[in-house]
């Protein structure tokens, strides 16, 4: 695959703004998608935030293959990350507040020992597009504080949001790196709506989704599309799904564009769940 360039101007500005605000930040909270815990992790942040306290939040935990994702949690914990997993919609966000307090405990204690005034913790929320930053903030605030959308690029500016008397969060737009040189990473990000659909051919994305499901989750694939068997040939698989879903055009031919959209949207909307595409053992 040729290097994919998708680096909108607001991402350049975002990284510049993040660096300008670093002096105010106590804790960095990086969000990654539990279904793609490798592909959605921005390693550039390691250098950018090397002197800051860091928390790694695996979002959309309700949609992942927990057995596979737990391997990644252990992996990141071994790299000295403080890791928590969250169901952004129904999960209990108390543990988010608890881990923030735990991470800041030593700093708060030192300030108290010096007789300094209590200070509100300032944290920055970072991650790839559509990883759930705005949804998490809305849950923490308890009301709709930021815009939320199931597509990249909804948040386009840096905004401070007061969560409580103890905590302020700096919300940031989703960021990526200038070039996506790993084909699997690019396809994973496209499959889970972290990069715009126009960046990669949609039929390539749908084919990748089907091939991955066929390899790791054949029963999910069968159940979702009512298949008796899964053909080895990808075109035949498209044909079977098209027939089951009535994706036909004049003459009884399969409407492949319609099948592509069904597969991509099923994953995007969470109708295909309990999956993790990044495999630690690979």
Residues 216-243: pLDDT tens digits?
999 999 999 999 999 999 999 999 999 9
Residue 79 in tokens: 């790299």
The CATH 3.40.50.300 portion of the chain extends over: 4-179
- Which pLDDT does position 223 carry in this prediction? 97
| DSSP-derived secondary structure for the chain | -PPEE---HHHHHHHHHHHHHGGG-SEEEEEEETTSTTTT--THHHHHTTTSEEEEEEE-GGGS-HHHHHHHHHHHHHTT-EEEE--TTTS-THHHHHHHHHHHHHHHHHHHHTTPPP--EEEEEEESTTSSHHHHHHHHHTS--S---SSTTS--S-EEEE-SSSEEEEE------SEE--HHHHHHHHHTTSS-TTTS-HHHHHHHHHHHHHHH-HHHHHHHHT-SS--SSHHHHHHHHHHHTT-B-TTS-B-HHHHHHHHHHHHHTTSS-S---S-TT-
- Contact between 30 and 57 under an 8 Å Cβ cutoff? The reply is yes
Q: With cut-offs at 50, 70 and 90, classify the pLDDT of residue 46.
A: confident
Q: Mean pLDDT across the stretch 151-177?
A: 73
Contacts of 214 (CB under 8 A, 6+ apart): 221, 230, 237
Contacts of 271 (CB under 8 A, 6+ apart): 224, 265
- Which pLDDT does position 152 carry in this prediction? 39
Which of 3-17, 24-38, 44-58 has maximum average pLDDT? 24-38
A 10 A CB-CB count for 203 gives 16
Percent of the chain with pLDDT over 90: 49
160 or 219, which is more confident? 219
> Of 38-47, 67-76, 170-179, 205-214, where does mean pLDDT reach its minimum?
170-179
32 or 47, which is more confident? 32
Instruction: State which CATH number among 1.10.1580.10, 1.10.760.10, 3.30.9.10, 3.40.190.10 fits the domain covering 201-268.
Output: 1.10.1580.10
pLDDT value at 36 more than 50: yes
- Contact between 241 and 227 under an 8 Å Cβ cutoff? The reply is yes
pLDDT value at 39 more than 50: yes
The pTM is what?
A: 0.86
pLDDT value at 254 more than 90: yes
pLDDT digits (tens, 9 = 90+) for 78-117: 988 899 999 988 888 888 989 998 988 887 787 777 777 7
pLDDT value at 74 more than 80: yes
**Distance, CA of 177 to CA of 156 (rounded, Å):** 16
pLDDT value at 203 more than 70: yes
Q: Mean pLDDT across the stretch 18-39?
A: 92
HSE-CB of 269 using CA atoms within 13 angstroms: 7
**Distance, CA of 125 to CA of 106 (rounded, Å):** 21
Q: With cut-offs at 50, 70 and 90, classify the pLDDT of residue 213.
A: very high
The CATH 1.10.1580.10 portion of the chain extends over: 201-268
- Which pLDDT does position 146 carry in this prediction? 47
Q: Which CATH architecture has domain 4-179?
A: 3-Layer(aba) Sandwich (3.40)
């Amino acid at each position: 695959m040729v290097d994919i360039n998708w680096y909108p101007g607001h991402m350049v500005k975002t990284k510049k703004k993040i660096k300008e605000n670093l002096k105010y930040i106590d804790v960095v909270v990086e969000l990654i998608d539990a279904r793609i815990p490798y592909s959605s992790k921005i390693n550039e942040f390691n250098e950018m935030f090397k002197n800051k306290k860091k928390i790694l939040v695996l979002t959309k935990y309700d949609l992942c293959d927990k057995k596979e994702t737990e391997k990644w949690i252990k992996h990141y914990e071994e790299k000295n990350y403080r890791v928590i997993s969250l169901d952004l919609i129904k999960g209990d966000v108390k543990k988010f507040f608890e881990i923030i307090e735990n991470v800041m405990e030593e700093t708060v204690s030192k300030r108290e020992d010096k007789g300094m005034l209590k200070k509100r913790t300032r944290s920055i929320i970072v991650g790839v597009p559509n990883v759930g930053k705005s949804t998490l903030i809305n849950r923490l605030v308890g009301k709709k504080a930021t815009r939320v959308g199931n597509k990249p690029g909804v948040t386009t500016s840096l905004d401070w949001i007061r969560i409580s008397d103890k905590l302020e969060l700096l919300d940031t737009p989703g960021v990526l790196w200038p070039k996506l040189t790993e084909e699997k990473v690019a396809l994973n990000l496209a499959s889970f709506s972290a990069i715009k659909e126009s960046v990669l051919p949609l039929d390539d994305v749908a084919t990748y989704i089907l091939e991955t499901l066929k390899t790791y989750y054949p029963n999910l694939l069968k159940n979702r599309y009512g298949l008796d068997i899964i053909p080895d040939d990808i075109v035949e698989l498209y044909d079977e799904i098209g027939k089951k879903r009535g994706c036909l055009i004049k003459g009884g031919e399969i409407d492949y564009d319609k099948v592509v959209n069904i597969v991509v949207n099923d994953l995007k909307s969470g109708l295909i769940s309990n999956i993790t595409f990044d495999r630690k053992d690979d």
